[in-house]
């Protein structure tokens, strides 16, 4: 072994950190490199590098045929993506803000999700929609929503919501390789978050939750940026002698209810923390899955949901924070639940 390759091997063993945005860009580059059918579409993803600088210099590396700036028409862009996927291409369409996917509902819900079924399985729609979502950047009511539960209600779509750079790379690669339409929700506050990301190609399953922390006293299920807040709260809870088990939901459709059920059978207490509006959201689905399951007999307290306020996300920074779960509130509710006060 030459000195050079030995050094490379050592470097590879060291933990390499990338930001969430860099991890996405790396996954896109790997997919573009590996498969001619893969191409990217979206508004300002080319020379500008993407509204959140996720696509960066990919247009320089892969050219305008593979990293295509599209006009300001989400419906048109999504329609082209669905059509391309039907012909065997593997498009990745970026919405600047997932809020704008409302303009493309027809293509996502009525076309992409349905065509495999309506045409008797003779076609598939292998495309990925990238969905920057969530509040925290002062985007106000039309640029801050968490609409993932809407799409998770539609059979024919797969909906995932990773919380770490490692997972977003692996899930995006899995999504691009998947034969069906996948929506990957990227919380905008995560883009700058750093974490270990392995080199090269790997995938993370699109249907598996992940236990981020083991604990015996209560189960907290969270998604996207809420996983980080819950983990912070869990550290504080541990100082009070309360051990929370933290489950990163990751997959909304299909949802990995088995992991949650097994956990609740051990802890007897469940809290669900998510940024979408509390009513009729992720928390309702997780709670119902537990109420319907074998874990019901093990529940020793009411289920608690912490979700977004029943209001559009406000512009005022203080109100914006107050509109979605934050660490102190999570801590307070988890403590009350674990201590039997609820």
Partner 1 sequence: MATEVIMPRVDMDMTTGRISYWFVEEGASVVSGQPLFEIETDKAAMEIEAPAAGILRARAPTGVSLPIGSTVGWIAAVDEVFDLPSETGNLAGEAVPRADVAVPIVEALIEAAAPVGDGLIRATPAARSLARERGLDLASATGTGPRGRIQASDVLAQVDAKQKTSRISTSAGLLNAAWLRQGTGDPIVLIHGFGADLDGWRPFLGSAQLERPVLGLDLPGHGASPLGDMLTFNAFVDATAQTLKAHGVTTPYLVGHSLGAAVATALAAGPIEARSLLLIASAGLGPKINGAFLQGFSGATDEATLAPWLRMLVADAASLPAGFVKATAKQRAEPGLAASHASVAQAIFAGGAQTFSTRAMIDRLTIPVRVVHGRDDDIIPDRHTNDLPGTVALHLFAGVGHLPHVEARDDVMRILIEHVRAAG
List residues binding partner 1 (CB under 8 A).
236, 239-240, 268, 296-302, 304, 306, 318, 321-322, 326-329, 331-333, 335-336, 339-342
Q: Is residue 143 among the annotated active site residues? A: yes
> In this structure, how many other beta carbons lie within 10 angstroms of the beta carbon of residue 177?
18
Task: Report d(CA 165, CA 10) in Å as an integer.
Answer: 22
Q: What are phi and psi of 103, to 5 degrees?
A: -70, -20
CB of 240 to partner 1, least distance (A): 5
Tokens found for residue 305:
């949901």
> In this structure, how many other beta carbons lie within 10 angstroms of the beta carbon of residue 301?
18
Residues ≥6 apart with Cβ < 8 Å to 84: 39, 91, 127
CB of 292 to partner 1, least distance (A): 12
Are the CB atoms for 282 and 248 separated by under 8 Å? no
What three-state secondary structure class fits 286?
helix
* E strand map for 127-229: 128-133, 158-160, 182-187, 194-196, 210-213, 218-222
> In this structure, how many other beta carbons lie within 10 angstroms of the beta carbon of residue 156?
18
Which CB atom, from 57 or from 232, has the smaller least distance to partner 1? Answer: 232
Task: Report d(CA 311, CA 112) in Å as an integer.
Answer: 30
Task: Report d(CA 43, CA 72) in Å as an integer.
Answer: 6
Which CB atom, from 122 or from 239, has the smaller least distance to partner 1? Answer: 239
Tokens found for residue 319:
């109100």
Residues paired with 90 in a beta bridge? 38
Which CB atom, from 118 or from 311, has the smaller least distance to partner 1? Answer: 311
Which CB atom, from 28 or from 234, has the smaller least distance to partner 1? Answer: 234
CB of 59 to partner 1, least distance (A): 40
Of 26, 74, 186, 285, which is the active-site residue? 74
Q: Which of 55, 61, 65, 150 is nearest to 99 (CA)?
A: 150
CB of 30 to partner 1, least distance (A): 40
Of 26, 43, 94, 143, which is the active-site residue? 143
Are the CB atoms for 294 and 265 separated by under 8 Å? yes
CB of 282 to partner 1, least distance (A): 17
Which CB atom, from 69 or from 236, has the smaller least distance to partner 1? Answer: 236
CB of 326 to partner 1, least distance (A): 6
Which CB atom, from 11 or from 291, has the smaller least distance to partner 1? Answer: 291
Are the CB atoms for 323 and 309 separated by under 8 Å? yes
* Catalytic center residues: 74, 143
């Amino acid at each position: 072994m030459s000195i050079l390759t030995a050094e490379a091997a050592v470097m590879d063993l060291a933990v390499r950190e990338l930001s969430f945005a860099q991890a996405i860009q790396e996954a896109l580059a790997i997919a573009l490199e590996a498969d001619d059918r893969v191409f990217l579409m979206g508004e300002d993803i080319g020379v500008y590098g993407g509204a959140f600088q996720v696509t960066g210099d990919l247009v320089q590396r892969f050219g305008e045929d593979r990293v295509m700036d599209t006009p300001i028409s989400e419906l048109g862009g999504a329609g082209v993506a669905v059509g391309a996927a039907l012909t065997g291409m593997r498009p990745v369409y970026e919405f600047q803000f997932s809020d704008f996917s409302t303009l493309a509902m027809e293509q996502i819900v009525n076309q992409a999700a349905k065509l495999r079924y309506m045409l008797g399985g003779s076609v598939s729609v292998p495309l990925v929609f990238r969905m920057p979502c969530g509040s925290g950047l002062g985007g106000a009511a039309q640029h801050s929503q968490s609409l993932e539960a809407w799409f998770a209600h539609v059979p024919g779509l797969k909906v995932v919501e990773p919380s770490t750079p490692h997972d977003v790379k692996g899930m995006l690669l899995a999504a691009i390789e998947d034969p069906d339409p996948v929506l990957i929700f990227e919380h905008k506050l995560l883009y700058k978050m750093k974490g270990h990301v392995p080199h090269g190609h790997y995938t993370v399953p699109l249907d598996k939750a992940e236990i981020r922390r083991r604990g015996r006293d209560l189960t907290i299920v969270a998604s996207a940026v809420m996983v980080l807040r819950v983990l912070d709260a869990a550290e504080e809870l541990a100082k009070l002698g309360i051990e929370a088990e933290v489950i990163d939901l990751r997959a909304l459709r299909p949802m990995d209810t088995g992991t949650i059920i097994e956990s609740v059978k051990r802890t007897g207490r469940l809290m669900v923390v998510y940024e979408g509006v509390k009513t009729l959201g992720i928390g309702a689905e997780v709670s119902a899955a537990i109420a319907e399951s074998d874990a019901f007999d093990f529940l020793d307290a009411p289920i608690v949901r912490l979700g977004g306020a029943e209001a559009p996300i406000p512009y005022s920074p203080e109100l914006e924070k107050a509109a979605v779960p934050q660490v102190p509130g999570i801590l307070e509710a988890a403590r009350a639940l674990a201590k039997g006060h609820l």
